[in-house]
Amino acid sequence: MAGSTHRRAVITGGAGFVGSTLARRMHADGWHVVVVDNLCTGSAYNIADLVQQERFEFVQANVSEGLDISGSVDAVLHFASPASPPEYLALPIETMKVGSIGTFNALELARANGATFLMASTSEIYGDPEVHPQIESYWGNVNTIGPRSVYDEAKRFSEAATMAWHRTHGVDTRIIRIFNTYGPGMQVADGRVVPNFICQALRGEALTIYGDGSQTRSFCFVEDLVSGILAVLEHGDAQPYNLGNPVEFTIGQFAELVTELVGGQAVVYQPLPEDDPKRRQPNIDRAKRELGWQPEVDVAAGLVPTIAYFRERLGL
């Protein structure tokens, strides 16, 4: 902002789980932070501590309908999108709009201001991967007409748009591919495996394993992810970076870990959702080698504050 020494960042989706954790860290690092969110899946609760602060602005708006931010902007970080499978399946058209028109609007804001643009992409762009672990050079295996395609293809399209603005307009761009991430700030009703298992265990309910539990995921603590995002923003280049924790679990093993930490619960098997990827594990060599970033928090350690957070959200 004119006369200010603080860099100013616009975070779309900044009231969401990852966006709000990023907003809090950037604010603590001295940034002026503008969060734009329509709260369709994000929550005012996530930014309640920030809204009273100096150098923080909250704009409740849908990024797909325009992104009218006055004053200078140094960075635009595009995190707006439903991100959990049940949420994007419930909001398929909104998900496609925010990953197309919303991305155009965010890119234009960056272009108009000469700002750095960072696209929050996802491991979902790899689909049900035939290459394991997934490396950035892998192009993916996505069902273009399956139920998950609304999210997968919107994010793939957003990557393409980011590269088009980079090549055509010379915008300084970044693309990060976020693998499964967990931590405080997730919604109780988010529907992903970490909130489901923890909330089920805390309520004394059986943990719902979809399929036979042999499918794998790798879980990154959100504060580690945010460190990676900032490393890419400050020191990265325009090619994509995988960000995630490479320690791989089967969902059955993960249910056991949650059970050990919260208390003994039964499991119940439910049908595997359509096109559910069988294996997912990031190859993070590029971020390690070029940015010196890697996750520091092991999953059991990261689950402790996450369980405490959900205990509080459930009023237990």
Active centre residues (catalytic): 151
CA angle 180–86–156, rounded 5-degree value: 60
Burial class (CB in 10 A: 0-12, 13-18, 19+), 6: middle
- CA 306 – CA 30 distance, rounded (Å): 26
CB nearer to ligand UDP: pick between 157 and 210: 210
Q: At its nearest, how many Å lie between ligand UDP and the CB of residue 59? A: 28
Q: Which element (helix H / strand E) includes 262?
A: helix 251-262
Q: Which helix (H) or strand (E) holds 75?
A: strand 75-78
**CB-based burial of residue 188 (10 Å sphere; 0-12 exposed, 13-18 middle, 19+ buried)?**
middle
Q: Which is nearer to ligand UDP, 162 or 196 (CB)?
A: 196
Q: Which is nearer to ligand UDP, 69 or 199 (CB)?
A: 199
Q: How far is the CB of 182 from ligand UDP (least distance, A)?
A: 9
Provide CB contacts within 8 A for 88, sequence distance 6+.
81, 82, 95, 148, 150, 151
Between residues 258 and 297, which has the closer beta carbon with respect to ligand UDP? 258
Q: How far is the CB of 272 from ligand UDP (least distance, A)?
A: 6
Task: Summarize as ranges the residues that interact with ligand UDP (CB under 6 A).
Answer: 84-85, 180, 192-193, 196, 208-210, 215, 217, 251, 272-273, 276
Q: Which residue is nearest to ligand UDP, using beta carbons?
A: 192
Which residue type does 2 have?
A
Shortest Cβ 241–ligand UDP spacing (Å)? 19
